[in-house]
Amino acid sequence: MKINQKTPILAIAVCLAMIFPSTANAGWLEIVRDFISGGIKTVVIPKAAKIAAESKPASAPAPEQSPAPKAGTQPSPEDIYDALNKLGSVCMDELAKYVPCAIGIEKSLSIGTAREKASAKARVELARIMGTYIEANTSLDETSEEDEDGVLKEANSYIADAKLSTKELVTGAQQYLSYTYIDEEATQINKGRTVYITTVVMVLNKELLGKALEDAAKGKPIGQQIISESKKGIVAIVKNVLKKKR
């Protein structure tokens, strides 16, 4: 498998078969963790690996404890592609209403532009999820312990009046993970000019997301303590914004 020679030196370009000191059958979360520990990466994923991963049946929930990794073995390209996409689907489908996280994807001939636009898209999506979260949590009959001052109800009225901006809703957001594919097919169409596809995962609290992903990877419901901490964090963010507006 070839790495496109036009990839910038500052981007870490790696062959998938050599990226991770993990097991070939490692759980998707274990692969994601390795990706995070390695920093921002630019990778080449063959079309065959994408097709193989996307055609796999839904995997069963991971066991409570995974077997210890075998030294010198790595996950397959299909496993890596599947793990990164699993992270995206879990964030958007299972965690958004508990621990807000969002995905931004962008394509460009410039790796920097792709990353910048993907990050912007992730922030906009995170703000949308925050708005939905606030609206859902203001419909409760009783004010929750985490929202004893009715902060979310007040925030909902501001959102309805378009007074809370995207920037304000995602105050303190953190980039959880960023990875870039080199689209080999698009690169060939563009006569060898490298086409990059960057994905950015944006969250409000990396630590809480990590805990929630642990539960999701084991097929468990998100823990009540995680949900409670997430609510408190969101209330704190919104309370700070509203305080500045008064």
Please give the pLDDT value at position 120. 92
In angstroms, the Cα distances linking 54 to 77, 84, 91, 176, 183 are 12, 12, 18, 24, 17
Please give the pLDDT value at position 119. 93
Contact 105, 84 (CB under 8 A): no
Question: For residue 242, how many other CB atoms are within 10 A of its CB?
Answer: 17
Please give the pLDDT value at position 168. 79
Please give the pLDDT value at position 241. 79
Reading the chain (246 residues) residue by residue, the pLDDT tens digits are 333 434 332 232 233 333 333 333 348 888 888 878 777 777 777 777 777 777 876 554 444 444 434 544 677 778 888 888 889 888 888 787 788 899 999 999 998 999 999 999 999 999 888 888 888 777 655 556 667 678 888 888 877 665 677 787 787 888 888 888 888 888 889 888 989 989 899 998 889 999 999 988 888 888 989 988 988 888 888 888 777 776
Distance between CA 178 and CA 187 in Å, rounded? Answer: 21
